[in-house]
Chains A and B, each alone.
Chain A
């Protein structure tokens, strides 16, 4: 019966194959069509390749990094790049390249987990408010409006100031800045979809609210949310770097790009790689996620597609 949930399952496409002069109708799933559209976008594929490479660097950091990231040698601090330390050493004598590589882990962890957390909560708020309306809608969406009125960094700062530094707290702080974005994006389509015939039909068939929300509403708002998630992963990584830059990020001695950029600023003229290397890593990662996000938008966002 869920088949009434209209466009989500599969569609027929006129097959272009010439099969001995006989034309055939080929069943193409939406997923396949989406992948085909995505693949046709060269920059998006490059972005995806970059994201995969970055994830591999993060996962296999212990195998790739030439040194332990926290191994100090203050006597050799600020050593210039050499054959043994390609990007030189930082102000504690630690290998900069190894710290940049390990920094990938924190960036990805924060980027992915905070978006996951913020995405789940934000979507739940938006969908529930849009579906149930009434006072609940008013309260939830005004709360969302209040949160949206703060710039991301300010929200992150406020939360970190209350919670204190540390990786889990950093993820929560960034998730909180993301939550209202997802809520707002999920809210609008929910308002429209709940009025559709297939939702009315589901109600008429006696389906409960939970089933309607999870089986009929959510699948139809998920496209935009996936696009948002990919774009916000990049923003979350950037926000993590910003919070670390101002000293509110992960606890020392964990290697994070933001903290490395901050520490290296003092030595920018004489030891540029100290700041530049994590800066470039950050740039590439944010760029890669943005490319993927743009590609996904082309595939999943109906307005963009039209």
Chain B
């Protein structure tokens, strides 16, 4: 017990840069004598001593955390931290979220049919240790924790993702085995993300959660991941320390110093001066080029990108006339919007579901073949407006968020539609206010920026009646197709159904897809994430036990 205390003390001293004298003083407070400290330190394996490992310093584009309870974490700044502290039953392969591999479970299972219902059975790894907290000891994760976590995730009082877990019954078979029984069968594409390291899929250990309480857990969480929560300084930073009992092995880092720096130029200066190792960058091609020309620094551009598209309310006058919607489609240019971010940050998409990121989207070739590319043609757009009886155009009142991703795209839209006589009266409001207003139907034209993990989520949420107030297009023509695709277990057939739904949306001019905006991070050349960066659903480079900093 005393050795453990000493080990933690030594790591803390390393992380906080304490002198030997301060270390001995702290040890004395804990009832550890100086000789006992020296003896214990010599017995400790060198790798376990934090002095051998650097702490990774990350600056995130946020003023503060919102919630580190993984079942509430939604912002990029929270998702990244949560990912370092928690695990799922399965996980998106580090650096490549198109692949799923085991995490807390020993294998990625195949579903079975039991009594006419689809059942997924997971076997847990041995000796997965839950982090010690100020109010609970470390312990071995069991099936009880998994059942507790998924019940929590399915409860709208304790989770923001409850909707994803309806119709799923989770049960303990024994200490190492849990089953998920589905009311309606799902394909692996749709089911596995629900139990992966994302949103409600993170496993929240029961005893730690109950010991800390729901409120404290939001700022001082405990999971099973490669890093343990250590401290939180509001509007400043969160400190994590290495979990040396991590089931995949000891992390190569002593810990994480996660800082909140909202101002982009401050983050950039901190990186260039060597005060920070990794920063959330500017989503601009020019900035990426600039960083890559700087000494000792590299910018990484990777997925998953957030899709940006225009949705047109097909029930609002005069947009209920397909000719007006077609005119709008012909007034737009994807290139104008992609150029706002520049290559390689902005990438053109041809359906709202991005084909680059997931099955069910349309590639350029497929969109061309289906006749739904819609190249800009101002004359034809004006002609269509004349045919629709609005030759002289009209004024549209729209609100936009003050956030650049929204405001810029709306201003380009304003310019584009101005060329065919549609005058946009654009009001800039706070981001939260915009979300509230567009859900009330303020905007007949809505530009939306979002990443969703599956085609089903994109289509259901934004283009079906089930989507409710986020079906900004008030569209219902693909309700049946999306429902059918959801219960189709053959992956190819399912993808085909989603592609057909995407094509239908575009044929009805209910939406116009612009681009995906990839993630941009910059790092010191000394940082090695331990994996390639292709696409990462947690919206950061992915930091785990393999991440290292060379000296």
Q: Are B282 and A252 in contact (CB under 8 A)?
A: no
User: Is B466 part of the binding interface, using a Cβ–Cβ cutoff of 8 Å?
Assistant: no
Q: Are B290 and A270 in contact (CB under 8 A)?
A: yes
User: Is A95 part of the binding interface, using a Cβ–Cβ cutoff of 8 Å?
Assistant: no
B150 to chain A, nearest CB (A): 41
A116 to chain B, nearest CB (A): 26
Q: Are B411 and A253 in contact (CB under 8 A)?
A: yes
- Give the residue name and chain of the A residue nearest to B342 (CB): A77
SS class of chain A's interface: helix, strand, loop or mixed?
loop
Q: Are B264 and A75 in contact (CB under 8 A)?
A: no
Q: Find residues 277-292 in chain B having any chain A CB closer than 8 Å to their own CB.
A: 282, 286, 290
Give every chain A residue within 8 A of B339 (Cβ-Cβ). Answer: 74-75, 77, 93
Chain B contact-residue range equals 20 to 34
Give every chain B residue within 8 A of A270 (Cβ-Cβ). Answer: 286, 290
User: Is A142 part of the binding interface, using a Cβ–Cβ cutoff of 8 Å?
Assistant: no
- Give the residue name and chain of the B residue nearest to A92 (CB): B411
Q: Are B335 and A75 in contact (CB under 8 A)?
A: yes
Q: Are A247 and B402 in contact (CB under 8 A)?
A: yes
- Give the residue name and chain of the A residue nearest to B425 (CB): A251
Q: Are B427 and A251 in contact (CB under 8 A)?
A: yes
User: Is A70 part of the binding interface, using a Cβ–Cβ cutoff of 8 Å?
Assistant: yes
Q: Find residues 389-420 in chain B having any chain A CB closer than 8 Å to their own CB.
A: 402, 407-408, 410-412, 414-415
Cα distance, A91 to B342, chains bound together (Å): 11
Q: Given A92-B412, A247-B402, do A165 and B428 touch, yes or no (CB 8 Å)?
A: yes
Q: Are B412 and A74 in contact (CB under 8 A)?
A: yes
Cα distance, A265 to B415, chains bound together (Å): 23
Residue among B282, B337, B414, B425 making CB contact with A74, cutoff 8 Å: B337
Cα distance, A266 to B337, chains bound together (Å): 19
Q: Are B414 and A252 in contact (CB under 8 A)?
A: yes
- Give the residue name and chain of the A residue nearest to B290 (CB): A270
User: Is B265 part of the binding interface, using a Cβ–Cβ cutoff of 8 Å?
Assistant: yes
- Give the residue name and chain of the A residue nearest to B415 (CB): A72
User: Is B450 part of the binding interface, using a Cβ–Cβ cutoff of 8 Å?
Assistant: no
Cα distance, A74 to B334, chains bound together (Å): 11
A51 to chain B, nearest CB (A): 31
Cα distance, A294 to B410, chains bound together (Å): 44
Give every chain A residue within 8 A of B290 (Cβ-Cβ). Answer: 270
Give every chain B residue within 8 A of A165 (Cβ-Cβ). Answer: 427-429
Give every chain B residue within 8 A of A170 (Cβ-Cβ). Answer: none
User: Is B322 part of the binding interface, using a Cβ–Cβ cutoff of 8 Å?
Assistant: no
Candidate in B282, B335, B425, B427 with the most chain A CB atoms within 10 angstroms: B427
Chain A contact-residue range equals 20 to 34
Q: Find residues 214-244 in chain B having any chain A CB closer than 8 Å to their own CB.
A: none
SS class of chain B's interface: helix, strand, loop or mixed?
helix
Give every chain A residue within 8 A of B408 (Cβ-Cβ). Answer: 91-92
Q: Are B265 and A269 in contact (CB under 8 A)?
A: yes
User: Is B340 part of the binding interface, using a Cβ–Cβ cutoff of 8 Å?
Assistant: yes
Q: Are A70 and B265 in contact (CB under 8 A)?
A: no
Q: Are B426 and A252 in contact (CB under 8 A)?
A: yes
- Give the residue name and chain of the A residue nearest to B282 (CB): A266
B18 to chain A, nearest CB (A): 37
Q: Are B336 and A74 in contact (CB under 8 A)?
A: yes
User: Is A28 part of the binding interface, using a Cβ–Cβ cutoff of 8 Å?
Assistant: no
Residue among A75, A78, A252, A265 making CB contact with B411, cutoff 8 Å: A252
B55 to chain A, nearest CB (A): 28
A106 to chain B, nearest CB (A): 15
Give every chain A residue within 8 A of B265 (Cβ-Cβ). Answer: 265-266, 268-269
B401 to chain A, nearest CB (A): 10
Give every chain B residue within 8 A of A265 (Cβ-Cβ). Answer: 265
A264 to chain B, nearest CB (A): 11
A17 to chain B, nearest CB (A): 63
Contact flags A64-107 to B (C-beta < 8 A → 1, else 0):
00000010101101100000000000011100000000000000
Q: Given A72-B412, A91-B408, A252-B407, do A266 and B340 touch, yes or no (CB 8 Å)?
A: no
Give every chain B residue within 8 A of A74 (Cβ-Cβ). Answer: 335-337, 339-340, 412
User: Is A223 part of the binding interface, using a Cβ–Cβ cutoff of 8 Å?
Assistant: no
Cα distance, A72 to B411, chains bound together (Å): 9
Q: Are B415 and A253 in contact (CB under 8 A)?
A: yes
Q: Find residues 321-343 in chain B having any chain A CB closer than 8 Å to their own CB.
A: 335-337, 339-340, 342
User: Is A164 part of the binding interface, using a Cβ–Cβ cutoff of 8 Å?
Assistant: yes
Give every chain B residue within 8 A of A247 (Cβ-Cβ). Answer: 402, 428
B503 to chain A, nearest CB (A): 28
- Give the residue name and chain of the A residue nearest to B402 (CB): A247
B338 to chain A, nearest CB (A): 8
Q: Find residues 460-491 in chain B having any chain A CB closer than 8 Å to their own CB.
A: none
Give every chain B residue within 8 A of A70 (Cβ-Cβ). Answer: 415
Give every chain A residue within 8 A of B428 (Cβ-Cβ). Answer: 165, 247, 251-252
- Shortest beta-carbon contacts, A-B, top 7: A74-B339, A247-B402, A72-B415, A75-B339, A74-B336, A252-B411, A252-B426
Which residues does A use to contact B, with CB under 8 Å? 70, 72, 74-75, 77-78, 91-93, 164-166, 247, 251-253, 265-266, 268-270
Further contacts, 12 of them, CB under 8 A, given A72-B415, A74-B340: A72-B411, A74-B335, A74-B412, A75-B339, A164-B429, A165-B428, A247-B428, A251-B425, A251-B426, A253-B426, A265-B265, A268-B265
A-B pairs with beta carbons under 8 Å apart, 25 shown:
A72-B411, A74-B340, A74-B412, A75-B336, A77-B340, A91-B340, A91-B408, A92-B412, A92-B415, A164-B427, A164-B429, A165-B429, A247-B428, A251-B425, A251-B427, A252-B407, A252-B426, A253-B415, A253-B426, A266-B264, A266-B265, A266-B282, A269-B265, A269-B268, A270-B290
